[in-house]
Amino acid sequence: MNPVDSFRLEGRVALVSGGGGAIGSALALALGSAGAKVAVSDIAVENLEAAAAKIRAAGIECLAVPADITKEAEAERVVAAVVEKFGHVDILVNAVGGGAGKVLFEAQEYPRDAWDWIMEINLRSTLIATQAVAKAMIKAGHGGHVVNISSVRAQLGINAGYSAYVAAKGAVSSLTRQWATEWAKYGINVNAIAPTFVDTPQVAMLLGDPKFKGDLVSRIPLGRVGGTDDLVGAVLFFASDASSFVTGQIMTIDGGLTATQ
């Protein structure tokens, strides 16, 4: 096979957890455009259906499964629905998460309920979805690709009340390396992307503050925040056989921000 063709995803089935979200829906459409059949899952049913409709309108086969992915039984149900519809699952993108901008507290005061919520949607969602998919991949015996969404916040502190989020994303990056190590014997590659701020509704409040945005952009060598399209190349690489000798890696997508630290 021409190595350039290894980026294509024909014959593959991709599940995007959080596929109703800003980043998840963009990545699901990209995976489908690269040839995969796509399943999207999300707790927000209206957004999920809108994302699925957009993917189908692009001529891509798409299954939408509403679920609270922090619950084991729900995750098992999602995976069973994908396997029933498409026969297998080859790619998982974990795009549930966020929330940090909604619960900004000084580190010394960070309250437990906010801490638990951020951990739940960023860390437990990734854990539970990945466990359910990994079991199916191991059973099928054909390997697979897991792509987590960490954040530059796994590497860099930020003076904006982000304690729980940095802890959750740090754990997502650590689990990426741990799963890569444990599941290499099953042919499952596990990698992550770690973006800086991506212009989505999640961070609209912070990016809407001209001083915050100005300070942020002034520290980014490429001079702008990211968009969802900026994540597509790295995710296609990690989701496809183009990355068959790459596992346990975190690709930072930050316009050069961390290069300056």
106 CB burial (10 A radius; 0-12, 13-18, 19+): exposed
Contact set for ligand NAD, span 156-215 (CB under 6 A): 195, 197-198, 200-203
Question: Which residues between 122 and 141 bind ligand NAD (CB under 6 A)?
Answer: 122, 125
Using the rule CB under 6 A, give the single segment among 65-73, 81-89, 177-185, 236-244 that binds ligand NAD.
65-73
Count of residues making up the chain: 261
* Structure-token pair, residue 154: 């796994």
Q: Which amino acid, one-letter code, is at 106? A: E
Q: Tell me the residue type at 250.
A: I
Q: Is 165 a catalytic residue?
A: yes
121 binds ligand NAD (CB under 6 A): yes
Catalytic residue among 110, 162, 165, 186: 165
Tell me the backbone φ, ψ of residue 121, rounded to 5 degrees: -80, -25
When binding is defined by CB under 6 A, the residue of 69, 89, 188, 216 that contacts ligand NAD is 69
Q: Does 68 bind ligand NAD (CB under 6 A)?
A: yes
Q: x/- binding map, residues 13-52, to ligand NAD, per CB under 6 A?
A: -----x-xxxxx-----------------xxx--x-----
Nearest to 208 by CA among 135, 129, 101, 110: 101
Half-sphere exposure at residue 248, Cβ-oriented, CA atoms within 13 angstroms: 10
* 261 vs 257: CA distance, rounded Å: 7
Name the minimum Å distance from CB 195 to ligand NAD. 4
230, two tokens: 């900026």
**Residue 247 in the binding site for ligand NAD (CB under 6 A):** no
Candidates 55-63, 68-76, 139-147, 213-221; binding stretch for ligand NAD (CB under 6 A) = 68-76
Number of residues that bind ligand NAD (CB under 6 A): 30
- Residue 179 in tokens: 């799963």
Q: How far apart are CA 178 and CA 235, in angstroms?
A: 19
Task: Decide if residue 96 touches ligand NAD (CB under 6 A).
Answer: yes
Q: Return residues touching ligand NAD (CB under 6 A).
A: 18, 20-24, 42-44, 47, 67-70, 95-98, 121-122, 125, 149, 151, 195, 197-198, 200-203
| Residues identified as active-site | 165
